[in-house]
Amino acid sequence: MQTVSLEHEINPWEAQAARFDFAAKKLNLNEGLWKMLRYPEREIIVHIPVMMDDGNIEVYTGFRVQHSVARGPGKGGVRYSPEVTLDEVRALASWMTWKCAVANIPFGGAKGGVVCDPKKMSLGELERMTRRYTSQLIEFIGPEKDVLAPDMNTNEQVMAWIMDTYSMHMRQTVTSVVTGKPLSIGGSRGRREATGRGLRIMCNQALRYLNMQRDGCRVIVQGFGNVGSHAARLLMEEGYRIVGIAEIDGALYNPNGIDVHALLEYRERNSTILGYKGAEAADTDELLLAECEILIPAATENVITSRNAERIQARILCEGSNGPTTAVADDILADKRVFVIPDILANAGGVIASYFEWVQDRQGYFWKEQVVNENMEAIMVESFDSVLRYAEAHGVHNRIAACMLAIDRVAFTIQQRGIYA
Ligand code: NAD
């Protein structure tokens, strides 16, 4: 891959496009399909007026990008952050297309975001912004068009507001317009910890594939939010040793293993992991480079770049977050023979459980948690095997194999449907 500046390296859209182009070339993808799939089908920009608590009107910019709806309705989260950009939302929407195709579930890919700082907004301001954002998207979303979900800084409450606003416009309750809702209004059992559970399944599969021992296998997790904390807890319960946990304001390290249950209780009481007595304080960035068998980034994008990839010591990189590794870093990790379980495979547990939530809402019949977990595990194991088979057959690393598998599936569907003109 050619040399690129760090600015280009960390642009999520360029990172996505670099992998897409490489995988499409390997697949010998028809040029027209290549052009169709390289760019999103639809990009919506809205300017959202919100009446603030002090009586002034503030206007926020929001996006919804639908990359592909060839295999089913768009599916993807909504993030609230001051750093949201259209390029980022585009990249995340494309990743959703590929992720749903790797898992072979009947969804396309979409993503949304609003440029705002939710930490500086009251609950009432957040609710009014969410409802107005939803109403401005009303004709573009819906159970058969585009299904929304939580992402960074959005949660079950935000999903409940979106569901309610959509339902008011439709004049009937439509629970399946969003996933990740509270259980009492059509959420699914098992959804909350599904991404972490999926990561555990992927780690188990990788160890089996690489013939490595599970007991005492050292794991470092970056990000102790929804994905990272559930992954750390579930892995510890299965015999893995969680030696490091990195958060945005500092990290913890204990070569003998961190008791994740105790740390969760500590965080509940203190709202931070810092100061926890069962581990030494460590530097967040340095912890990624410490000795371990498995590294799980579960925080944010671009944490493994050309600047630090060479110094990663993990044997397995299991990507909980979306886009944690840049395309340049991919090549460095491949040279070091790090076994990468790419984001569009590793963190698919969340969207698979969301698919089950959508199915249950439409059936009006809700499954036991065990049924959700077992069905999710079956899909994840099959997806892992399919990606590994692709990697072996085409002589490519796992990320490119996952992209190739996904592009192949989406392109096949488009060809079967034909081009409407
Ligand atoms: P979250 O907000 O619950 O947790 C993220 C955590 O990472 C927070 O505790 C935050 O303080 C920490 N963090 C942020 N920047 C950091 C940094 N530079 N170093 C260390 N820690 C940092 O979010 P989440 O739902 O756990 O999502 C995490 C990632 O996983 C995101 O990339 C998201 O898109 C992806 N993802 C989430 C799901 C899901 O089901 N929640 C599914 C698939 C992918």
Q: Name the closest-CA residue to atom 4, ligand 1.
A: 225
Q: Which residues contact 300 (CB under 8 A, 6 or more apart)?
A: 152, 223, 321, 324
pLDDT number for residue 7? 82
* Assigned domain for 152 exists: yes
For residue 157, the enclosing domain spans 40-183
Q: What are phi and psi of 347, to 5 degrees?
A: -100, 20
- Is residue 111 part of the annotated active site? The answer reads yes
- H-assigned helices in 137-193: 156-170
- For residue 160, what is the domain's CATH number? 3.40.50.10860
Q: Which atom of ligand 1 is nearest to the CA of 323?
A: 32
Q: Which of 321, 325, 344 to mutate to test the pocket of ligand 1 (most atoms within 8 A of CB)?
A: 321
* Assigned domain for 52 exists: yes
* Assigned domain for 176 exists: yes
Q: Which residues contact 351 (CB under 8 A, 6 or more apart)?
A: 75, 96, 99, 100, 103, 105, 107, 149
- H-assigned helices in 147-193: 156-170
pLDDT number for residue 216? 85
Question: What are the counts of helices (DSSP H) followed by strands (DSSP E) for the chain?
Answer: 15, 12
* Assigned domain for 46 exists: yes
* Assigned domain for 367 exists: no
Q: What angle do CA 91, 94, 98 make, to 5 degrees?
A: 135
Residue 341: C-alpha distances to residues 18, 24, 128, 254 (Å): 18, 20, 39, 25
pLDDT number for residue 421? 83
Residue pair 283/251 in contact (Cβ under 8 Å)? The answer is: yes
From ligand 1's centre to the CA of 153, what distance in Å? Answer: 9
Q: Which residues contact 273 (CB under 8 A, 6 or more apart)?
A: 224, 245, 247, 250, 252, 263, 266, 267
Q: Which residues contact 230 (CB under 8 A, 6 or more apart)?
A: 192, 193, 195, 196, 197
Task: Per-residue pLDDT tens, the chain, 421 aa: give them.
Answer: 456 788 888 888 988 899 999 999 999 999 999 999 999 999 999 999 999 999 999 999 999 999 999 999 999 999 999 999 999 999 999 999 999 999 999 999 999 999 999 999 999 999 999 999 999 999 999 999 999 999 989 999 999 999 999 999 999 999 999 999 999 999 999 999 999 999 999 999 999 999 999 988 999 999 999 999 999 999 999 999 999 999 999 999 999 999 999 999 999 999 999 999 999 999 999 999 999 999 999 999 999 999 999 999 999 999 999 999 999 999 999 999 999 999 999 999 999 999 999 999 999 999 999 999 999 999 999 999 999 999 999 999 999 999 999 999 999 999 999 999 8
Q: Which residues line ligand 1 (CB under 6 A)?
A: 151-152, 195, 222-228, 246-248, 284, 298-300, 320-322, 347, 350
Residue pair 180/158 in contact (Cβ under 8 Å)? The answer is: no
* Assigned domain for 145 exists: yes
pTM for the whole thing? 0.96
Q: Which of 151, 271, 272, 303 to mutate to test the pocket of ligand 1 (most atoms within 8 A of CB)?
A: 151
pLDDT number for residue 31? 96
From ligand 1's centre to the CA of 321, what distance in Å? Answer: 6
237 token code pair: 């319960």
Query: Could you say which of 99, 111, 145, 277 is catalytic?
Result: 111
pLDDT number for residue 292? 98
* Assigned domain for 262 exists: no
Strand 218-222 to strand 294-297: parallel, antiparallel, or no bridges (unpaired)? parallel
Count how many domains the chain has: 1
* Assigned domain for 340 exists: no
Q: Which of 96, 148, 195 to mutate to test the pocket of ligand 1 (most atoms within 8 A of CB)?
A: 195
Residue pair 309/286 in contact (Cβ under 8 Å)? The answer is: no
pLDDT number for residue 3? 64
85-115 confidence digits (pLDDT tens)? 999 999 999 999 999 999 999 999 999 999 9
Residue 50: C-alpha distances to residues 125, 132, 163 (Å): 7, 8, 19
